[in-house]
Amino acid sequence: MHRSFLSSALIASLLVGLATGLFFSGSAHARLAQRLPRPKKASTELRQKISRGRGHERVRVIVQPQHAWNSAIDAALKESGATTARHYRNLNFRVLNLSADAAVALSARSDISFVSLDKEVRTLGHLSSTTGADAVRAASGSTSGPLDGSAIGIAVLDSGIDTNHNVFGGSSGGNRVVVSQDFTGENRTDDPYGHGTHVASIAAGNGVISCGKYEGVAPNASIINLRVLNSEGIGSTSGLLSALDWILSNRAAYNIRVVNMSLGVPAVESYKTDPLCLTVRGLVAAGIVVVAAAGNTGKDGDGNKVYGRIHSPGNEPSALTVGASNTFGTDTRSDDEITTYSSRGPTRSFTEDESGSKTFDNILKPDLVAPGNKVVDAEAVNNHIVTQNPQLDAHVSEVPGRQMMILSGTSMATPAVAGAAALVLQANPSLTPNMVKAILMYTAQPLPGFNTFEQGAGQLNLEGAVRLAGLVRTDLNNETAVGAPLLTSETLPAPETNIAGYTFSWSRGILVGNTYAVGTDLISKYQKIYGSGFLLSDGVITGDGVITGDSTMLTDGLSFGTQIMTSNGVITGDGMPILNVSDLLTYGGLQDGYLLGDGVITGDGVITGDGVITGDLILQAQMAEINGDDTMAMQIDPDLGGECSGN
């Protein structure tokens, strides 16, 4: 029987060809760099304003100096008529108001690294059982207490939180929303829009409504409410940076170990210059797991699959980027699929040199997927989304503070992973963000029929992740030698999990930049890339289609790239190709200028009853995460407002 395969060499050459660049090392790289045009240091969107005759218009930009701010830059800013809109305590950026012409001229200075437009940020929009959270709590010992996120802080950057909702009460009384801050300028931290309350409850809602039917993943975690989206669900990059800056200053006070960002902007400029991506990397280096939504642009207005539409900051390699799966309302995972709207990789953010040549990042994303379709969870009182779309009320209760609503999208999948990260860290607080990310990918369930660009390593599996995390040594650090024992036991955990009567195998691999690594050495031997200050792709080198491991970062017992093209859930590499080259180009997601030409996403965001996406990024009634794309109605039991009696 004839089978069609794409070899690892073809995979590598495809990615390299798409990136319009090659990997070099040593003196050869230096000689090539001298001949290459210098990269442009102003974002594409900013330069397009000038090309369209709008250079005189004042804009808000985020400026990155080459090193430190100095008097020469200050003098140039004064001469250009720039005014400072925002400083940061921990970030080496300034937000300025000046003309587009002056902003681009500023970028030409040798002491300026990059100038970005301050872009608009928007939302991208049975759970405890199907993710494995219930199994984790049932298995946790009575001496250590249940794994419920206790003492772990999850920062939710969203539209605010209705702290009066009952799902945010603590197991011993009090409210688990321990602090609230506003970064929108509206001077309020509640949730008039309605998105943030729903997101926070997926990550950390308790089980008091309908006797635990809608319990969050980490139901006793502390919640840090950082409001970055206003009453219409809109924010700015500079406001989002302010919230991340606040986290860097206050992470110790609230033990913030996880950040959830169910929002994003079009990923146009490369993660290497995007201030949002650079800041996310700083948080990860500081020991914080940053979980970001992939986006809801997995198909166009005609229902065709589209590749290459991962949003920022989900395009940042150090972020844990999450797509959405569809459980069809059942606990068993045998029928789970990827939602049609979940954004696919690879990342298509890019750098551009003076000749106009683009080099695309082409990072494999998302990292994994989690249930995100028709999720029932907390409804903020009188919120905009339900007021405009009353069909989204789940009819669980008529009592304020107990009402629930239904939303779909990668925004819903992201907090499920954020809650999972909190449980993994509770099981082993010594883990670095890179280790948390690797564990979640290694134990994920590959979903049959879906490729790596759609699902990453696979669907979230909390049972396996917590079991593996508990075996990792607690004395590891950046000085630990590559190849040293990673686990406290020489016996590796069984690489399979049973949830709701269905047994599935783990992926046994992790995404590492432009390729995929597999092998038991990933969990039996310490890898340098698991330390702080590294990327999981560090040490993986490509050239002439050959992918190997760098022994200073990775052990030699790993295989790279052989699994990328399998989609049938079999890890042996003998599955059918996930994606033909002709399909990749036919779908259009990787064509130059498609989506990324001017940073405006059309045909994005409005998901109607059958999952068909219409409209554009400026959403009517913000319908990005409303009806989803499954055909099974959720079974909702009414809750009349009384407390659970244990049945």
Whole-number pLDDT of residue 541: 65
Residue 225's φ and ψ, nearest 5 degrees, are -95, 105
Query: Which residue in the block uniquely carries the two structure tokens 């992740």?
Result: 465
- Four-CA torsion 500, 136, 459, 503, nearest 10 degrees: -40
Q: Give me the percent of the chain exceeding a pLDDT of 70.
A: 76
Q: What is the pLDDT of residue 644?
A: 55
Give the β-pairing of 320-326 and 289-293.
Answer: parallel
CA gap 133, 148 in Å, rounded: 9
Active-site position among 128, 150, 162, 195? 195
Burial environment of residue 495 by CB neighbours within 10 A (0 to 12, 13 to 18, 19 or more): middle
Please give the model's pTM, rounded to 2 decimal places.
0.82
Q: Read off the amino acid at residue 131.
A: T
**Which residue, 483, 495, 480, is CA-closest to 430?**
480
Return the percent helix, strand and coil in the chain, to nearest 5: 25, 25, 50
Please, what are the domains in the chain? 44-118 (3.30.70.80), 122-582 (3.40.50.200)
SS3 381: coil
Q: Which of 133, 135, 69, 159 is nearest to 106 (CA)?
A: 69
Quick check: 258 and 304 in contact, CB under 8 A? no
Round to whole Å and give the CA distance between 508 and 502: 18
Say if residues 419 and 202 touch (Cβ distance below 8 Å): yes
- Is 411 a catalytic site residue? yes
Helix (H, G, I), strand (E, B) or coil at 42: strand
Asked if the bond preceding 313 is cis, omega within 30° of 0, the reply is yes
Residue 414 is encoded by which pair of tokens?
């992201």
- Mean pLDDT in runs of 10 for the chain (647 residues)? 35 37 36 56 89 91 94 93 93 94 94 92 62 69 71 97 95 90 97 96 91 88 97 94 98 98 92 96 98 92 88 96 88 86 92 88 94 92 93 91 92 96 97 98 94 93 96 97 96 93 93 90 96 92 53 86 43 33 39 30 26 28 43 45 46
By CB atoms closer than 10 A (0-12, 13-18, 19+), residue 30 is exposed
- Report the distance separating Cα 529 and Cα 1, nearest Å: 41
Task: Print burial letters for 627-637: b (CB count within 10 Å at least 16), e (below 16).
Answer: bbbbeeeeeee
Alpha-carbon radius of gyration of the chain: 23
460 touches 418 (CB < 8 A): no
> Quick one: pLDDT at residue 52?
87
C-beta neighbour count of 488 within 10 angstroms: 11
Which residue, 316, 372, 314, is CA-closest to 341? 372
**β pairing state of 320-326 and 350-352:** unpaired
Write out 482-507 in H/E/C secondary structure.
CCCECECCCCCCCCEEEECCEEEECC
Q: Which pLDDT score, from 0 to 100, does residue 348 have?
A: 92
Write out the E strands in 147-212. 153-158, 177-182
Instruction: Based on the residue annotation, tell me whether 639 is a catalytic residue of this protein.
Output: no
Backbone φ, ψ for residue 351 (5° rounding): -105, 155
Length of the chain, in residues? 647
Which amino acid is residue 491, in one-letter code? T
d(C-alpha 522, C-alpha 535), whole Å: 15
- 236, 242, 411, 567: the active-site residue: 411
Per DSSP, helices labelled H in 140-212 are 195-204
Active site residue 195: yes
What per-residue confidence (pLDDT) applies to 596? 26
CB 496 within 8 A of CB 508: no
Return the SS3 of 39.
strand
The active-site residue out of 118, 134, 148, 158 is: 158
Strand partners, 84: 96
Q: Element (H or E) spanning 118, and its range? A: none
638 token code pair: 């009414």
Beta bridge partners of 226: 157, 181
117 forms beta bridges with 61
Share of the chain above pLDDT 90, in %: 59
